[in-house]
Amino acid sequence: MTNELERQVLAKAEKWLGAEYDEATKQQVKHLIESDKNELIESFYKDLEFGTGGLRGIMGAGTNRMNIYTVGFATQGLANYLKKNFPNEEIRVAISHDSRNNSRMFAERVADIFASNGFKVFLFDALRPTPELSFAIRELKCQSGVMVTASHNPKEYNGYKAYWSDGSQVTAPHDTNIIKEVEKITEVSQVLTGKNGENITVLGEEFDEIYLAAIKKLSLSPESVKNCHDMKIVYTPLHGAGVRLTPASLRNFGFTNIILVKEQCVLDGNFPTVESPNPEERKTMSMAIELARKEGADLAMATDPDSDRIGLALRNGKGEYVLLNGNQTLVLLMCYQLTRWAELGLIKDGDYVVKTIVTSMMPDAVAEHYGVKCYNCLTGFKYIAKIIREHEQSGAKYIGGGEESFGYLAGDYVRDKDGVSACSLAAEAAAWCRDTKGMTLYEWLQDLYVKFGFYREGLVNVVRKGKDGAELIQNMMVEYRANPPKSILGSPVVKIYDYKTLEVLDVESGAKSAIEGVTDHSNVLQWVTADGTKVSVRPSGTEPKIKFYFGVKATLPSVAEFEKVQAELDAKIENIKKELKLE
């Protein structure tokens, strides 16, 4: 680090020793100045950025850390933007938080600032899932909301998600306009606090009942649940916000044999039983899977700390528990919904499902079979919410949708992924399979592969840290645009989708056309080959990495050949990685 940087950092840090900062913060900063130069630089060398979704960072004192001051600056900036957008209106906001360390403190600070700005504030009495916050915004006719969470990041992190009046995370133009307002807040004195405490209304269990009743309306097979009510279901909240509402929703659906991983029902922001509170990882799911094996449960489920993601492990024919990837969970839930909607005569012209562009291609085939439209959108649930918003006046119904990163939303009562309802639907689907088909949910997934084609996916994260790494990632995208692969494993590339220009190139004819249904630009490339292989390349917006998503497919003649064809598809993905020099 240069002496100039150290001088700038020290000047910023010394400002935090002023009278407007609390004593505990000042003591932390003094310690950094006197004893920990490296951490001092990390804490102050830049300001924690309010990105298009809000804040996320390591907790601690400093301008580049999550603390009551950086949270305060963000909230005052958001408050100022709301005043500009809704002049002469009573502005209403909802606030929730997860189980992370300091989450309650941050949520109460947000509530105080909004109340001090004259807003009507709805603050949950304790932690609640992200989807319930989204639901509350719509139900209580709020213009905005804040969820204090860092999702499934490590314990050192916390975050702040900003929501708009439709219950979705903010999208253009509000996202960038809020950032401009936040950047104008540079002094603690600009943040309004300590006023209008009477403006804060506390939400408790009575509101949970309203949310749970909305989820119950998603139920499609109450008779099957009644017949299989004592099916064994293992669930873990991973020390997070799903602890009360997910079991409550399962009971509300009619299930009576819910087995909790008790050690992980303890609310603890240190997540003591897992390396990472991410249900995508088998290590994280290991306690739930072990308990399911011991109990002979039909399925094991988990939600992440803010309960918007779902992890799902199913028992296969050998009695082993298979942890599904996000694509498989999405396919199962969407197929269950579409199958039952069709059987019940609920599907009407124009009804639709949604998935992101890097998600499995299988939902497209399933949707076509059932005569519903499948929209593709950019990565991020706010883009799924945007499509729902755009169709609200058309009369077309949103059935369900999701993304490969373990998020699913059935119904439009919420505008973010919902792990609570996803767990309830997964359990109901398992009961329906047992009751009407005499098979497990995993066996039904295998049958779906026979019916629609066996789709298999893979992902590689290439990490390139620092300024040089960021430039390298950008150069990779430039090179891929200039010289895309002509073939992948011998199959010619026939279409190239460029989401930066929103154009698709027909390689053989050279003709370009607009990508259907997508209006937001993103630095993403996709190559589709003659044999149906799809490779997507996407630099991460929040981390120093570039992601490669692989989708391959094959015919599955029968369930008996499942393992053989799965092995072939997995080998194909590995060979694509080698050909692209990613291994």
CA 325 remoteness from chain centre: 14
Using CA of residue 51, residue 54, residue 57, residue 61, what is the dihedral sign? positive
Which of these ranges, 54-58, 141-145, 372-376, 507-511, has the smallest mean pLDDT? 54-58
Q: What pLDDT band is residue 544 in, cutting at 50, 70 and 90?
A: confident
Contact 582, 476 (CB under 8 A): no
Q: CATH number of the domain that 482 lies in?
A: 3.30.310
Check whether residue 488 and residue 438 sit in a common domain: no
The answer as to whether 36 is a domain residue is no
Check whether residue 507 and residue 518 sit in a common domain: yes
- Average pLDDT of 526-546? 89
Contact 341, 347 (CB under 8 A): yes
Which sequence positions are flagged as catalytic? Answer: 151
Contact 168, 177 (CB under 8 A): no
For residue range 433-456, list pLDDT tens digits in order.
999 999 999 999 999 999 999 999
For residue range 379-388, list pLDDT tens digits in order.
989 999 999 9
The answer as to whether 17 is a domain residue is no
The answer as to whether 5 is a domain residue is no
- Kind plus residue range of the DSSP H or E element containing 215: helix 205-216
Check whether residue 280 and residue 412 sit in a common domain: yes
- Is the per-residue pLDDT at 340 higher than 90? yes
Mean pLDDT of the chain: 95
For residue range 282-321, list pLDDT tens digits in order.
999 999 999 999 999 999 999 999 999 999 999 998 899 9
The answer as to whether 34 is a domain residue is no
Tally of domains within the chain? 3
Check whether residue 217 and residue 167 sit in a common domain: no
For residue range 15-58, list pLDDT tens digits in order.
999 999 999 999 999 999 999 989 999 999 999 988 777 899 99
In angstroms, rounded to a whole number, what is the distance separating the alpha carbons of residues 557 and 379? 33
Q: What pLDDT band is residue 133 in, cutting at 50, 70 and 90?
A: very high
Domain boundary among 452, 470, 501: 452
- Is the per-residue pLDDT at 89 higher than 50? yes
Check whether residue 134 and residue 186 sit in a common domain: yes
Type of residue found at 137: I
Domain boundary among 421, 452, 483: 452
Q: What pLDDT band is residue 1 in, cutting at 50, 70 and 90?
A: very low
Of 187, 175, 153, nearest in space to 63 by CA: 187
The answer as to whether 53 is a domain residue is yes
- Is the per-residue pLDDT at 253 higher than 70? yes
Check whether residue 376 and residue 258 sit in a common domain: yes
Range of the domain at 128: 46-203
The answer as to whether 558 is a domain residue is yes
Check whether residue 255 and residue 336 sit in a common domain: yes
User: Could you tell me the pTM of the whole model?
Assistant: 0.95
Give the per-residue pLDDT at 542: 59
